[in-house]
Structure 1
Amino acid sequence: MPFDAGIARQAVEWWVTLQSDDASDALRAACVRWREVHPEHERAWRHIEGADSRMRHVSDALGAAVARAALRAPRSRERRMAVKAIAGAVFLGTGAWVASDPGAVQWLRADARTGAGERRTLSLADGTTLSLNTRTAVRLSMDGDVRGIALIEGEIMVTTGQDAGHVPPRALIVSTMHGTLQPVGTRFAVRRTDEGGDTSVQVFEGAVRVTPKAVAGAGATLERIVHAGEQARLTADNVGPVLPLAQGDGAWTDGIFVAADMRLDVFLAELSRYRRGYLRCDPMVASLRVSGTYPLADIDAILGVLPHALPVAVTAVTRYWVTVGPRG
């Protein structure tokens, strides 16, 4: 009898949670209670108890990445992808999961990726420099007639190379789920917003041709050219208005985050990208304003100084669950 998808993921989430160093007797007891709520819960748990042996049969492309991601912080992107991967591999079989969840497959099969708070810079074969911001995954294709960078998740900074080994140089295409971006001798940043809402492009040198997925190859009547000092947002069927860059855009490549009269809830949402776990802003203080330049190397240190600048208190239930709320 097939398993309900929701119950399968719940079972995997419990299983992953109990592998953590933070697993307490109370958590183990809660898992037992969950198993007792319904016979299907217990059936799913018994099935997943053999996960260790089953995971040995998962393809190499998934195995190591899943094993590392499974122990990441609760509510993190890595954790969610790991749960999807394990549930699919254990309850559906790898082939069925590949067909049912291609987004998770792309993430796990990325050529390069970063975790929370991690940044990497790559020198590609064509001379392009590619910087990956926190929680980012990319696929690379430099062997064909077109140089390709597919942004699966997160944010990148691209400084285009000359492609000296090819005459004429091959086109460089950056793609996301929303469309394509083709630079003309440029330095630019591309970011996919959380949960795939849209794609933003910020141009620091040169220009970038931005084409929505829906019109690519069909006259591209909605494409726009974004020039140095400008930015725009891209959805699958439209390119938004071209606007000037904001103060501090691109500073993450130097390990800096710049806030200019930013709402506190927006500020904390940005910081949460660089920190494992859940960083919550109480609605009562969400509209407070933050300005300043902050080093991204230690997010907890930034949180530690907030009560000295604003009427807020920072409360940590665990190291993975932190709330910023009103003082007193």
Structure 2
Amino acid sequence: MITPRPNTLSHASLQQAADWYVLLHDERPDSQVHQQWQQWLEQHGEHRDAWHYVERVSQRFGQLQQQDDSQVLRRALVQPGRSGLTRRQGLKSLLVLGAGSLVAWSAWRSTPLPRLIAGWTADFATGTGEVRETRLADGTRLWLNAGSAVDADFDSAVRLLHLHAGEVLIDTAPDTRPFFIDNRHGRLQALGTRFSVRQSDGQTGLTVFDGTVEIRTAGSRQTLRIPAGQQITFNAAGLGAVQAATGARESWTRHVLAAEGMPLGQLLDELGAFRRGHLGCNPAVAGLPVMGYFPLDDSEQSLRLLQAALPIRVQRLTDWWVSVEPGSDHK
């Protein structure tokens, strides 16, 4: 899984930090190199944050070479149906590690602790490169994209999903109870629908394929109904512009990323959930429109296809640090 980076870190600072990391670890630097690195580190607070991010990605990648995320979680949490314990109850056994251990684990993954715990204890969750389909108690079909976590709280009056991370595609079943999806940016109400919801740090994207979905933003309390064939992004403060949508938004359920003029930066962000380490994009090429179909199960092949079709080059500093940069013919 990609270690989420703070939105405040620039691509330039991250690349500089990665360059210093490679220089300090792959060579045998003398005291002058160490002094120059220290000077760079102290120039700006963003340099220190970028350096810490690179260290976390390196540590995480090294751990995952020896042990998969799912193996860690299986030992840390009791799975549903075993010894009569639920995932949420299983968290209690993890808490005996102490608050200090949990904070350290959270820092290692570079994930805020409340979101980390929510992901661990979610009713439905996926890891790096994993797509999961399930059927809820009411017959609703639910698909989870890679790196997603969802809780389901159904009772006699309401059907409620909590989206903690990632993306879900939902095909709601007929029922007299209303169907809601909550996340940190607002609440969605499905009105006989098939739709997808993608949550990132800064915004949530909604695409409606059938029926209608009503949005209520968390902060401004703006409301809007989005009909089939339309999509929108929003956050707690307000709503973006409504745009036309296509069926390509649900192609990830078939392990394919379909791009129909998708910005390169967005495509790489989605592709990153299917590979481990850091996958960055230079802002100079992030807006390039991409057309085509890209295999999610083979991200290296997808990167080769992108490099062949666009004026870009794929730069690999290490196995775990890859960046897409302008090519020699980029204007």
Q: Could you state the TM-score of these two structures normalised by the residue count of structure 2?
A: 0.64
Matched residue, 2:187: 180
Matched residue, 1:201: 206
Confirm or deny that 1:138 pairs with 2:145: no
Q: Partners in 2 of 1:182 and 1:172 — Cα distance?
A: 6
Inter-CA distance 201–13: structure 2 relative to 1 (3 Å threshold): closer
Q: Partners in 1 of 2:210 and 2:100 — Cα distance?
A: 39
1:19 Cα offset (Å): 6.8
Unaligned stretches of 5+ in structure 2? 1-48, 67-75, 78-88
Confirm or deny that 1:20 pairs with 2:63: yes
Q: Partners in 2 of 1:272 and 1:14 — Cα distance?
A: 13
Q: Partners in 1 of 2:149 and 2:193 — Cα distance?
A: 21
Inter-CA distance 311–172: structure 2 relative to 1 (3 Å threshold): closer
How far does the alpha carbon of each residue in 1:24-58 deviate from its partner, in whole angstroms, 9 at most, with x for none?
xxxxxxxxxxxxxxxxxxxxxxxxxxxxxxx99xx
1:234 Cα offset (Å): 2.6
Q: Kindly report the root-mean-square deviation, in angstroms, between the aligned alpha carbons of the 2 structures.
A: 3.7
1:161 is paired with a residue whose SS is: coil
Matched residue, 2:254: 254
Inter-CA distance 203–86: structure 2 relative to 1 (3 Å threshold): same
Matched residue, 1:127: 139
Q: Which stretch shifts more, 248-257 or 224-233?
A: 248-257
Matched residue, 2:70: none
Q: Partners in 1 of 2:269 and 2:261 — Cα distance?
A: 15
Kindly indicate whether structure 1 or structure 2 has the higher relative contact order, using CA contacts under 8 Å at least 6 residues apart: 2
Q: Which stretch shifts more, 279-288 or 250-259?
A: 279-288
Q: Partners in 1 of 2:272 and 2:295 — Cα distance?
A: 14
Q: Percent identity?
A: 33
Confirm or deny that 1:152 pairs with 2:164: yes
2:106·2:116 contact (CA, 8 Å) conserved in 1?
no
1:312 Cα offset (Å): 3.5
Confirm or deny that 1:266 pairs with 2:266: yes
Q: Which stretch shifts more, 100-109 or 301-310?
A: 100-109
1:13-92 aligned at under 5 Å gives the runs: 20=63, 60-61=90-91, 86-87=102-103
Inter-CA distance 110–320: structure 2 relative to 1 (3 Å threshold): same
Matched residue, 1:115: 127
Matched residue, 2:37: none
Unaligned stretches of 5+ in structure 1? 1-5, 24-54, 68-82, 92-99, 164-168, 217-221
1:143 Cα offset (Å): 3.1
Q: Could you state the TM-score of these two structures normalised by the residue count of structure 1?
A: 0.65
| Corresponding pairs, count | 251
1:127·1:161 contact (CA, 8 Å) conserved in 2?
yes
**AA in 1 matched with 2:183:** T
Q: Partners in 1 of 2:156 and 2:163 — Cα distance?
A: 18
Q: Partners in 2 of 1:229 and 1:14 — Cα distance?
A: 38
2:57·2:278 contact (CA, 8 Å) conserved in 1?
no
Q: Which stretch shifts more, 274-283 or 310-319?
A: 310-319
Q: Partners in 2 of 1:282 and 1:322 — Cα distance?
A: 11
1:264·1:289 contact (CA, 8 Å) conserved in 2?
yes
1:210 Cα offset (Å): 1.1
